Structure 1
């Protein structure tokens, strides 16, 4: 092959590679979109329903039971350990929902890895997002019992009833969740 043909073939291959990378990036974003209703065809539980109990292990190897949080307002942030929108929302969840209430004895926020990642993946999520609230492992069953998916927020009152169940990305529900938390902590 002469140099011109090689240059043309090389240019075409480079353009194909660029297009493929862009398509893969868009596919990855779409598969993890906070508006992805295909992974959650059911409706979130109605406010006032009793929150399903669960027992999970935290990243720090502690056993966490929802039933141990009676008399507390509990916030659940369901996330996917490698989900870009979850990684983007987590610092805001920490700053706006955890930090203002963290010193209260009647409040608790948990992050629940709905993608069932191993410890290393959840640790990476924590490192990247710098969240300070406990992260719980292997939470897909909990997400299913709450009829929710990743990148969602659920608020449970002191009696164990669901008072807020987000149906859009966590970043879009932070203000509403915070208002509900403030109301419940009065």
Structure 2
């Protein structure tokens, strides 16, 4: 819960911050990513250039991710989702079990309405993180928040 509130606060401040060089830490340029989207197409960071992007990194059957998923919907997407300068996305890092069926089940169990991506295990090394984590990428393309503990903590 505290993590969700912190991410919400950071979303408010992420829109007007100056850019920095590329890397994997807060304040650094966010590495580009593109993964298959549930329902077709791609979820790509480049498609949301100029927006604050909230990223929920999950495992499709992770009990903690299932427990917190509805809060990312109600406390982040429901609050900021109507802002044209904001986009929430969720990415399934459990590539070995990431299928349309497993991610659809995750969506149904959590009530998430924002776009979900499959086969996103590459995010772990790209961003130096794991599942059950949150990222906030500023409108300038820099990492503004990178959770280092479980979202559910």
TM-score normalised by the shorter chain: which range applies? 0.7 to 0.9
What corresponds to 2:4 in structure 1? none
Kindly report which structure 2 residues correspond to 1:49-60, keeping only aligned pairs within 5 A, or say none.
Answer: 49-60=28-39
The higher relative CO (CA closer than 8 Å, separation ≥ 6) is in: 2
What corresponds to 2:132 in structure 1? 151
Q: CA–CA distance in 2 between the matches of 1:143 and 1:110? A: 16
What corresponds to 1:134 in structure 2? 115
Q: C-alpha displacement at 1:64, in angstroms?
A: 2.0
Q: CA–CA distance in 2 between the matches of 1:68 and 1:133? A: 15
Compute the TM-score of the two structures, normalised by the length of structure 1. 0.67
Q: C-alpha displacement at 1:55, in angstroms?
A: 1.1
Q: C-alpha displacement at 1:159, in angstroms?
A: 0.9
Q: CA–CA distance in 2 between the matches of 1:64 and 1:93? A: 18
Kindly report which structure 2 residues correspond to 1:39-50, keeping only aligned pairs within 5 A, or say none.
Answer: 45-50=24-29
| Structure 2 counterpart of 1:115, from 58, 74, 94 | 94
Unaligned segments of structure 2, at least 5 residues: 1-22
Q: Find runs of 4+ consecutive structure 1 residues off by over 4 angstroms.
A: none
Matched residue of 2:79: which SS? coil
Instruction: Give the length in aligned residue pairs.
Output: 129
Q: CA–CA distance in 2 between the matches of 1:67 and 1:131? A: 22
Kindly report which structure 2 residues correspond to 1:10-159, keeping only aligned pairs within 5 A, or say none.
Answer: 45-116=24-95, 117-159=98-140
More helix by share: 1
